[in-house]
Structure 1
């Protein structure tokens, strides 16, 4: 741990004029400057009795710098399972004895999934594949699928196809892919504990090319994989350096057969503290509820997170796990008087 991170735990960040939430109110809410990794660490180590105060501030930051709307997205897997990579959290790896097996989704099913997503009021439809990177077959499936969707559905199309070459980046941009997702997953210092078949830098290079090609960058990760609090702060700082348009925040849902099958699920208060801290690090970013929120937070915690900095949700099921129903999430947004972002606000 660096000395600067150590000093962030000084008692002055908890009390008096150097109170971290007082600093954040001025720096983030008033000036629009996200917290540094050192400051995020101070937030992540706040006591439980200050959690409500943190979430209230994070909500104020989100409304002021992002607006009141919530972006809704659906996702579908065009190619499931059989991935050659060893991401330790993922049941789609072909290297682990998990129950997920390789399968492809045909074009009519892809179009139907997009239509169902649009019917919920979602503005974003993300096509995901469990691969190291796309091969010729997958790129052909993308070209045909995107064209077929555009014929019948008015929705932004995003993609998550692993690591890309420059040629593939250019092709996806030519297809009109609105946003590309490629998660860094965790802090650079912890990455080799999570993945050994490729590097953190390889992921970063793909994201750099995506941004240069004009597509929006979607990059987040998973918390609760055994990383330290200091590494969560480091990760928030690295995401802030990347300046992604969207950060999907996942909470580990330990999957049978994976190396992380026995990891403990995060406590709700810890998960909420992470949400608030990441919002203060990324005041203008779309911060999206993604996988694992149902088991880490439950219904009450889901509500608290929406009032604590979250401004986007994935509705329906995830790639290999069940989520809340779209109707349940949309009803909650309505109850909280949080309008769903219209398509013309995301273009």
Structure 2
């Protein structure tokens, strides 16, 4: 029987399997990566960056997001300050059409190619879909050709078809965490219900955007499980969020993910999904700070959200764009996405 000391080194295996052949790591291999000691972190990040450059190239996709309907959500996602079930400071509000057009114009002004319209709902009703339709029409009437994505909760087939008809090219619906951990995070709907929406989205021809949040009480094995479950879905984009403990939510007392652990997750996700757009999203500022953000960009990330998040402040867009310029990472042009 082979001892643990005689097992092939996971990074050596990854260099051949992922870097050379483009095949993502297995769940057990991802777990080995997540268990690497701190002294091997620079080596891990360097390999993840090589994989990103080999299979995705140097360009970075920049995106802005805006909430068209904030707060008052009936679901009990334990991380979310927009749930109406928890005593958080967030109150229900709607963004009007001129506000949506202004946000899209500001996003395009940063050089972003993607603008995501988000709503805190279980799924969209006719009022919300009408608001989104009129918003997209107004954005186009403003002369703005930015790509438009949506994140409106769980969908029916008719709603999927309606969004396609509006010209929405990408749909975000995060699985949030590993299937085995999901019941500890959300009880008002299931992991499988979320996955069903994503399957309909893909079948309709929209790009699939699906990621989650790290730091919600999951163990390392569940992080590995989640990475592989995402890889099996083969999403176009995976947003990587780190928990921001929100006042009033069940997770308000949770610790922030350690920076080194966050970077290990980023690299492990890249090695599990060598060809996927991996996007820095919420919580990176709190978890990593400025230096950590640069390390993440050099450790497998190839897309970022600039500006503010839904109920949390982000870094000013100019800081992120300056970081990309300093790292000599070109921002993906809108003409390349059309």
Query: How far 1:12 moved relative to its partner?
Result: 4.2
Query: How far 1:206 moved relative to its partner?
Result: 0.1
**Partners of 1:11 and 1:79 in 2: CA distance:** 54
Query: How far 1:10 moved relative to its partner?
Result: 3.8
2:88 is aligned with 1:112: no
Number of residues of Structure 1 aligned to a counterpart in Structure 2: 336
Q: Deviations over 1:137-179 (max 9, x none)?
A: 0010011011111122110000000000000000001111010
Secondary structure of the corresponding residue to residue 108 of structure 1: helix
**Partners of 2:6 and 2:52 in 1: CA distance:** 26
2:196 is aligned with 1:205: yes
2:86 is aligned with 1:99: no
Secondary structure of the corresponding residue to residue 189 of structure 1: coil
1:178 matched residue in structure 2 = 169
2:138 matched residue in structure 1 = 148
Query: How far 1:345 moved relative to its partner?
Result: 2.0
2:45 matched residue in structure 1 = 55
**Partners of 1:12 and 1:282 in 2: CA distance:** 27
Secondary structure of the corresponding residue to residue 181 of structure 2: helix
2:305 matched residue in structure 1 = 314
Counterpart selection for 1:43 from 33, 38, 41: 33
Residue segments in structure 1 that go unaligned for 5+ positions in a row: 1-8
1:260 matched residue in structure 2 = 251
1:4 matched residue in structure 2 = none
TM-score when normalising by structure 1: 0.96
TM-score when normalising by structure 2: 0.98
Q: Deviations over 1:93-116 (max 9, x none)?
A: 000000000000000000000000
Residue segments in structure 2 that go unaligned for 5+ positions in a row: none
Q: Deviations over 1:80-99 (max 9, x none)?
A: 00000000000000000000
Query: How far 1:207 moved relative to its partner?
Result: 0.1
2:56 matched residue in structure 1 = 66
Query: How far 1:38 moved relative to its partner?
Result: 1.0
1:164 matched residue in structure 2 = 155
1:5 matched residue in structure 2 = none
2:111 is aligned with 1:121: yes
2:73 is aligned with 1:83: yes
